[in-house]
Amino acid sequence: NEGALWGARFAGGPSPELAELSRSTHFDWILAPYDIAGSHAHATALEAAGYLEADEARIMHEGLDALAARIADGTLLPDPGDEDVHGALEKALIAEVGADVGGRLRAGRSRNDQIATLVRMYLIDHARIIAKHLLRVIDALVAQAEAHPGAILPGRTHLQHAQPVLLAHHLQAHAWPLVRELERLVDWRRRAGASPYGGGALAGSTLGLDPALVARELGLDRPAENSLDGTSARDVVAEFAFIAAMTGIDLSRLSEEIILWNTREFGFVTLDDAYSTGSSIMPQKKNPDIAELARGKSGRLIGNLSGLLATLKGLPLAYNRDLQEDKEPVFDSVQTLEVVLPAFAGMIATLRFDTERMAQLAPQGFSLATDVAEWLVKRRVPFRDAHEISGALVRACEERGIGLEDADDELLRSVSEHLTVEVRDVLSIEGSVASRTGVGGTAPERVAEQRAELVARAQAA
Ligand code: ARG
d(CA 212, CA 197): 9
**CATH code: domain of residue 410:** 1.10.40.30
Portion of the chain with pLDDT greater than 90, in percent? 92
Helices (H), 350-428: 355-361, 369-378, 383-400, 409-415
Cβ–ligand 1 distance for 355 under 6 Å, the answer: no
Cβ–ligand 1 distance for 324 under 6 Å, the answer: yes
What pLDDT does residue 76 have?
Answer: 98
Q: Are residues 132 and 269 in the same domain?
A: yes
- Nearest-CA residue for atom 1 of ligand 1: 324
Which residue, 107, 129, 147, sits at the end of a domain? 107
Cβ–ligand 1 distance for 114 under 6 Å, the answer: no
Cα-to-centroid distance, 114 and ligand 1 (Å): 9
Measure Cα distances from 136 to 288, 447, 452 in Å. 20, 20, 16
pLDDT tens digit sequence for 295-344:
999 999 999 999 999 999 999 999 999 999 999 999 999 999 999 999 99
Cα-to-centroid distance, 455 and ligand 1 (Å): 43
Tell me which of 228-237, 422-431, 451-460 is least confident.
422-431
> Predicted confidence band at 280 (pLDDT cuts at 50, 70, 90)?
confident
d(CA 415, CA 396): 8
In a domain, 4, yes or no: no
In a domain, 199, yes or no: yes
**CATH code: domain of residue 341:** 1.20.200.10
Prior bond to 318 cis, omega within 30?
Answer: yes
Choose the residue to mutate in 321, 325, 327, 330 for probing ligand 1, maximizing ligand atoms within 8 Å of C-beta.
321
Cβ–ligand 1 distance for 24 under 6 Å, the answer: yes
Average pLDDT of the chain is 96
ipTM above 0.85, yes or no: yes
> Which structural domain range is residue 99 located in?
16-107
List the one residue out of 176, 143, 138, 169 whose CA is nearest residue 448: 169
Q: Are residues 340 and 375 in the same domain?
A: no
HEC assignment per residue over 41-68: HHHHHHHHCCCCCHHHHHHHHHHHHHHH
Judging by DSSP bridges, how do beta strands 269-270 and 352-353 pair with one another?
Answer: antiparallel
Q: Within 10 Å of residue 26's Cβ, how many Cβ atoms?
A: 9
Cα-to-centroid distance, 188 and ligand 1 (Å): 24
> Predicted confidence band at 284 (pLDDT cuts at 50, 70, 90)?
confident
> Predicted confidence band at 85 (pLDDT cuts at 50, 70, 90)?
very high
d(CA 81, CA 111): 17
Q: Are residues 383 and 366 in the same domain?
A: yes
Q: Are residues 118 and 166 in the same domain?
A: yes
In a domain, 170, yes or no: yes
pLDDT tens digit sequence for 333-391:
999 999 999 999 999 999 999 999 999 998 888 999 999 999 999 999 999 999 999 99
Which residue, 355, 371, 393, sits at the end of a domain? 355
Q: For 197, left (φ over 0), alpha (ψ -120 to 50), or beta?
A: beta
d(CA 144, CA 154): 17
Cβ–ligand 1 distance for 115 under 6 Å, the answer: yes
Cα-to-centroid distance, 206 and ligand 1 (Å): 21
List the one residue out of 391, 350, 388 whose CA is nearest residue 368: 391
pLDDT tens digit sequence for 10-26:
988 899 999 999 999 99
Q: Are residues 158 and 283 in the same domain?
A: yes
> How many distinct structural domains can be found in the chain?
3
What are the residue numbers of the active site? Answer: 158, 279
Q: Stretch 416-444: mean pLDDT, rounded?
A: 93
Cα-to-centroid distance, 319 and ligand 1 (Å): 8
Which residue, 75, 107, 139, sits at the end of a domain? 107
In a domain, 457, yes or no: no
Q: Are residues 351 and 217 in the same domain?
A: yes
Instruction: Determine the atom of ligand 1 nearest the C-alpha atom of 323.
Output: 12
In a domain, 262, yes or no: yes
Q: Are residues 124 and 257 in the same domain?
A: yes
For the whole model, what pTM was predicted? Answer: 0.95
Q: Is the pLDDT of residue 7 over 90?
A: no
Q: Is the pLDDT of residue 121 over 70?
A: yes
Residues in the chain: 461
Q: Are residues 334 and 400 in the same domain?
A: no
Instruction: Determine the atom of ligand 1 nearest the C-alpha atom of 24.
Output: 1
